[in-house]
C-alpha cells in the first residue's frame, strides 16, 4: 500500500492534463455550437408541449426560449473559459451545471456521451488543472504549476476506462456475439461506401465487426497502459473511432473518447510533441503540487465514493429479471453503447370505470414525432406518458380515468411483440426502482433477424 501511495503522489508533467483541459473545452464549445447550428434549442426545448423527466427530477423544466438561448450562450462562454483556463473552476462548474440542467429537462435526449460529459465536469471541478497553459496562470503566479500528483491523471484515466470496460462487458450477449445484432442492421445501411460497401451486408462481416468491437472495448485499456503495446493500441484506437464515426451516428462521442485516450500516453507527451515540432518548451521547476493540508482526506473520500458508485451503476440491471435491452431497467448510466436497434409503437385506451365510456388517444396528440419515436420502446417513458394522458382526460371531466396501452416493440430485428401488459391500468402504477411487473418478457424463441427494420430505431449510442 505504501508503494501504491507513493506512485499515486509522484509528480507528473502537468502538460498532459492541461492539454486534456484545452481539448475538452474546445469539444464542449463545438457541442454548444451544434445546438445553435442545427436548431436543436427550439426543437428540444420550445416545440414540445410536454417533457419526459428523469425519476426524481420532475422539477427540472425548460426556461422560455429566449432564456434557453442565453443559457446555451453562457454554456459556450464557460467552455471557452475551460479551454483558455480563465477562472477555471468557475468555468468548469458553471458549464457542468448548465449542461446537466439542459439535459435533465427531457429524457428523450439522453445519450451516453452527455452523461460522460457531466461525469468529466465533476472530476475536473475537483482537480486544479488551471495552473498550466492558462490565463489564470498568467494572472497569478501563485496558481502556476508544472507538475501535478499522479492520482489526478489516474482519476481521469479511470473515468474513460470505465466506459471501455463496461461497454465491452455489455456486449457479451448472444445478440451481439452470435446474431451480430444490431450491427447487421446498421452495416447494411451503407452499401454506398467504395470497396467495403458491398461486403457490409454479409453476415460474416457483421460477426467480425461485432467480435472485434467487443474485444477492442475489453482489451484497449490494458493495452494502452502497457508501454510495449501502447503504440499499436493507439493506432487501433484511432482506426476504431474513425470507422465508428463514419458508419454510425455517434455525434461527438468518438472524439471525446479519442481525447480521453491521450490521458493514457506518457504524461510528458506534449513536451515531446512540441520538441518534435521545434517549438519552445518551458523549463520545469522542481517539486510536486499536492493537495493542501486538510483537503487530501475529504478529496480522496469523495473520489472513492464516486468511483464506487460508478462501479455499481452499470451492474444494477442484474437486480431485475429479463433482458436489460428489453426492459431497460438499469440500462441508462451504464455505458451500454451501440447495444440495440429498438423501435416501437404505442396507443392509449382510456376507460371511465363508472360509465364504461372508452376513448382513444395517440401519443402524437401530446408529443413531437421525435419524442414519440424515443418514448414508444421505453417502458418507463410510456408510463410517464400514460400518467399525462390520465391527467388530461381528468381535466376534461372523465372521472378516475384508467389508461391502458397497446405497446409493441422490436429489438434487434425481431418481429414486433407486446412490450406492456394491455390489462394493466398504468394510471395506477408508479415509477421507481422496483421491478416493473407490467413489462412483458421478451419472447426468446424469436431470434434476431439480419433484415433492416423499416422504421427508424433508437440511436446507436
Q: What is the residue-level pLDDT of the chain in tens, covering all 461 positions? A: 667 778 888 899 999 999 999 999 999 999 999 999 999 999 999 999 999 999 999 999 999 999 999 999 999 999 999 999 999 999 999 999 999 999 999 999 999 999 999 999 999 999 999 989 999 998 887 778 888 999 999 999 999 999 999 999 999 999 999 999 999 999 999 998 888 888 999 999 999 999 999 999 999 999 999 999 999 999 999 999 999 999 998 999 999 999 999 999 999 899 888 888 877 656 544 444 444 444 467 888 899 999 999 999 999 999 999 999 999 999 999 999 999 999 999 999 999 999 999 999 999 999 999 999 999 999 999 999 999 999 999 999 999 999 999 999 999 999 999 999 999 999 999 999 999 999 999 987 665 654 443 344 565 66
Q: How far apart are CA 240 and CA 250, in angstroms?
A: 13
CB-count burial class (<10 Å; 0-12, 13-18, 19+) for 141: exposed
Kindly state the helix (H) or strand (E) to which residue 213 belongs, with its residue range: helix 203-225
Q: Which residues sit opposite 402 in a β-bridge? A: 351
Report which DSSP code applies to 1.
Answer: -
Q: CB-based contacts of 175: which residues, under 8 Å, 6+ apart?
A: 181, 182, 325, 339, 340, 411, 412, 448
> Cell numbers 441508462 correspond to what residue?
332
pTM: 0.93
Amino acid at each position: 500500500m505504501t508503494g501504491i501511495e507513493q506512485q499515486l503522489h509522484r509528480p507528473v508533467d502537468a502538460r498532459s492534463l492541461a492539454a486534456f483541459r484545452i481539448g475538452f473545452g474546445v469539444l464542449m464549445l463545438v457541442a454548444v455550437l451544434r445546438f445553435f447550428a442545427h436548431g436543436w434549442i427550439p426543437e428540444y426545448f420550445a416545440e414540445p408541449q410536454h417533457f419526459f423527466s428523469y425519476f426524481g427530477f420532475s422539477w427540472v423544466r425548460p426556461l422560455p426560449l429566449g432564456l434557453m438561448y442565453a443559457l446555451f450562450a453562457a454554456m459556450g462562454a464557460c467552455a471557452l473559459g475551460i479551454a483558455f483556463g480563465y477562472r477555471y473552476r468557475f468555468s468548469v462548474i458553471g458549464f457542468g451545471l448548465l449542461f446537466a440542467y439542459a439535459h435533465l429537462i427531457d429524457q428523450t435526449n439522453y445519450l451516453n456521451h452527455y452523461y460522460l460529459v457531466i461525469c468529466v465536469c465533476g472530476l475536473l471541478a475537483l482537480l486544479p488543472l488551471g495552473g498550466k497553459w492558462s490565463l489564470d496562470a498568467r494572472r497569478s503566479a501563485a496558481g502556476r504549476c508544472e507538475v501535478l500528483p499522479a492520482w489526478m491523471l489516474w482519476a481521469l484515466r479511470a473515468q474513460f476506462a470505465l466506459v471501455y470496460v463496461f461497454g465491452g462487458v455489455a456486449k457479451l450477449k448472444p445478440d451481439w456475439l452470435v446474431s451480430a445484432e444490431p450491427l447487421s442492421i446498421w452495416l447494411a445501411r451503407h452499401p454506398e461506401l467504395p470497396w467495403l460497401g458491398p461486403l457490409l451486408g454479409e453476415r460474416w462481416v457483421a460477426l467480425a465487426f461485432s467480435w472485434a468491437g467487443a474485444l477492442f472495448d475489453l482489451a484497449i485499456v490494458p493495452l494502452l497502459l502497457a508501454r510495449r503495446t501502447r503504440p499499436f493500441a493507439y493506432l487501433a484506437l484511432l482506426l476504431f473511432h474513425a470507422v465508428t464515426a463514419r458508419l454510425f451516428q455517434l455525434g461527438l462521442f468518438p472524439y471525446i473518447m479519442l481525447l480521453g485516450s491521450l490521458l493514457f500516453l506518457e504524461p510528458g507527451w506534449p513536451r515531446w510533441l512540441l520538441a518534435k515540432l521545434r517549438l519552445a518548451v518551458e523549463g520545469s521547476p522542481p517539486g510536486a503540487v499536492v493537495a493542501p493540508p486538510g483537503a487530501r482526506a475529504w478529496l480522496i473520500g469523495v473520489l472513492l465514493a464516486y468511483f464506487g458508485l460508478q462501479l455499481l451503476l452499470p451492474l444494477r440491471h442484474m437486480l431485475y429479471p429479463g433482458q436489460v435491452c428489453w426492459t431497460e431497467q438499469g440500462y441508462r448510466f451504464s455505458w451500454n453503447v451501440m447495444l440495440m436497434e429498438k423501435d416501437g409503437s404505442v396507443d392509449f385506451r382510456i376507460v371511465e370505470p363508472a360509465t364504461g365510456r372508452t376513448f382513444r388517444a395517440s401519443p402524437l396528440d401530446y408529443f413531437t414525432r421525435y419524442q414519440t419515436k424515443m418514448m414508444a420502446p421505453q417502458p418507463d417513458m410510456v408510463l410517464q406518458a400514460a400518467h399525462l394522458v390520465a391527467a388530461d382526460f381528468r381535466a376534461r371531466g372523465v372521472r378516475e380515468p384508467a389508461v391502458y396501452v397497446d405497446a409493441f416493440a422490436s429489438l434487434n430485428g425481431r418481429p414486433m411483440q407486446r412490450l406492456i401488459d394491455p390489462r394493466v391500468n398504468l394510471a395506477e402504477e408508479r415509477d421507481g426502482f422496483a421491478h416493473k411487473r407490467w413489462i412483458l418478457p421478451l419472447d426468446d424463441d424469436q431470434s434476431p433477424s439480419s433484415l433492416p427494420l423499416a422504421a427508424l430505431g433508437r440511436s446507436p449510442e
